[in-house]
Structure 1
C-alpha cells in the first residue's frame, strides 16, 4: 500500500453547542483554520476529539462534515477506537463508507489483552477494511501497550502502514523505528514535546494536539527540519512546549478548547465531567498564548 502518513496532522477537537450537539459551523471553521495554517492532514474523532463520548451517528456526522469542508485538500484520518474488536470493525466500516483516507486505531482500553490478542485485534481490523491503518499506542491513557515486537509483526500486514506513539517514551519510539526500518511503515510522534527528537530518529511526522491551537508553530518544527534547519526546528519545538505543559490546567482536552476560544473559534466546552476552565485558569492560558504570540 502506497499511503504514507507524514507531516503534522492535528487530532481535531469536536466542536459542541451549548446543548452538547455537534457544532457544524465551528467544525467547518476549524477545518479551514488548520488547512490554511499548513497542516498535512486532519484527524477527527481521536482522543482529542472525545471519541468516547460520541454516538455512532455523531461519529459519522463529524466525519462527513470534515470531509465535505476539506474537499480533498489534505488527507483525513478517522479515529476508530473501541474496547471490542467487533466495535472497532463497525466504526471502521462507518468511516470507510464516509470516504476517509485512512484509519487510526487505538488499543482497547479498560481490558488488559496480551500481545497475541493485541495482534489479533488489529489483524481483524486489517482484514475488514481496505483502508490504510495507523496503529495508536497511548499506554498512559489506556494502560495497554503495543510492544515494539508486536508492531513489527503487524507491519507485515499490507494495509497497516504506521503507528502513532503517544507513550512519551523515546526508547519505545526508537524501537518502533529500528524494528520496522526496512518495512513500508511510518512512525508518527504523538507527544507534542518530542516532535523534534522523533524526527531526528527518523519519524515521518506527528499527530499533535497542540496543532489545534498553534498549527503554524508545530508545522514549523516539521518544515524547518525537512529543510535542514535544525536550529529553527528546535526553537519551534521549544516555543510550543509551554502550551503542551499547560494541559495540566484542566481536564484534557479542555485547555485546547479554551485556547481555540481565545483565538476566536468557539468550539464550546467538553462533554461532562470534563468541565471548562475557571477564569483564573483561562487567564493563565491567555498569558501563555500571548507569550507565544498566538494572540
Structure 2
C-alpha cells in the first residue's frame, strides 16, 4: 500500500487573465517544484483552488501534472508521489471525482477534505470516509482542516477509520493543534504499517517530524521548495540543527500568508520570483501595495528575490 512521505506541495493552479487554467504554466510549476527537491505533488488541494474548476479542467490539470514529471525522481531516486485532491460537499460528488482520477491514471492516492458548509457529527464523518474508501481501490488520504471547514476529524474517529479501512492510508492535519496531531499519531500507532500522519501546517513541520509525522503537505513549498524540502531532508539525515534552521527560515513566509485571502500570497510570491501564475479567481483580490511590499521584504530576507 502507498505510504506518503516527505514534502508534497499542494500545487497552485495558474490562471490566465481571462480566468482560464493556464496548463502550460501548471506544467512548468510542476517541474519547478520537483527540481526544487520536493518529494511529491498534490494538485487541486485548498491551495490549488479546487472549488473553482470544471470537470474538464480537473482532468486536464491532473494529466498535465502527471505528464510534466513523468520519469522524474527525488534526489534519492524514488518516484515522485502524486496525490489528487477530490473534495466536495457530498459523498457522491467526491466519489465521482475519484472515478475521474481513476480514469486519468498514474496517481498514487486521492486526498479528501471534510465536507464544507455541512457541520457533520463524528458518526457522519466516519460514514462519509468509509463509504468513499469502499467505493475505490485507490489509497485515500483524509484531510482535516477545521480553520476552513469548521469541522474536526476527532482522533478517535481517525483511529477507527484507520483500523476499519485498509485503503485509508493517512490523514493530513491542518488544524495547527499539536495536541490533535499528537493524538492522531498516538491512537493510530498500531496501524503504522498502512496509516501515516502528514503535517498540514507549514510552521510545524519540524515539530511534526519529531512527533512521528511522515512528512508534510506544505503550501509554502510552492514558493520555496528547497527551503521546505531541507526541513525534511536534513531531519532524515540526522541534521536536526539544519532542519530547524530551515523551519525558522520558512516561518515568516507562512505567517505572511495571513495577509490577503488564501492562497493569493502564494501566487504573489511566485509572481515576484518571475514565475507567472496569475492571481486567484474572483472574489479573491490581489494584495494591496503595502502588503506586496511586506511580502517582497520577506522573500528578500529568504533570498528568494
- TM-score range normalised by the length of the shorter chain: over 0.9
- The residue aligned with 2:134 is 127
2:217 alignment counterpart: 207
Q: What is the rounded CA distance, in whole Å, between the counterparts of 1:249 and 1:4 in structure 2?
A: 34
Counterpart-to-counterpart distance in 1, 2:243 and 2:284: 33
- Name the CA distance, whole Å, in 2 between partners of 1:170 and 1:84: 29
- How far apart, CA to CA, are the structure 1 residues paired with 2:102 and 2:267? 28
**Map of 1:20 onto structure 2:** 19
Please tell me whether residue 35 in structure 1 is matched to residue 34 in structure 2: yes
Tell me the secondary structure at the aligned position of residue 258 of structure 2.
helix
Per-residue displacement from partner, 1:137-189 (whole Å, max 9, x unpaired)? 00111011110001001112111000000000000000000011111210000
Q: Distance in 2 between the 1:98 and 1:176 partners?
A: 32
Q: Do the aligned partners of residues 72 and 165 (structure 1) sit closer, same or farther apart at CA in structure 2, a change above 3 Å counting?
A: farther
Map of 1:90 onto structure 2: 96
What's the offset of the Cα at 1:59? 1.2
Moved more, 165-174 or 178-187: 178-187
- Residue 280 of structure 1 and its aligned partner are, at CA, apart by 2.2
Runs of 4+ in 1 over 2 A off after TM superposition: none
Match of 1:58 in 2: 57
**Unaligned regions of 5+ residues in structure 2, if any?**
73-79
- What is residue 148 of structure 1 aligned with on the other side? 155
1:268-287 to structure 2, matched below 5 A, reads 268-287=278-297
Determine which of 288, 292, 298 is the counterpart of 1:288: 298
1:232-243 mapped onto 2 (5 Å cutoff): 232-243=242-253
Whether contact under 8 Å (2:88, 2:115) holds in the other structure is yes
Q: CA RMSD in A?
A: 0.9
Could you tell me which residue of structure 2 aligns to residue 227 of structure 1? 237
Q: Which of residues 252, 259, 264 in structure 2 aligns to 1:249? A: 259
Residues 187-231 of structure 1 show CA distances to partners (whole Å, capped at 9, x for unaligned) of 000000000000000000000000000110100000111111111
TM-score of the superposition, structure 1-length normalised? 0.98
- How much has 1:279 moved relative to structure 2? 2.4
Cα distance in 2, alignment partners of residues 209 and 97 from structure 1: 27
Selected match of 1:107 from 93, 109, 114: 114
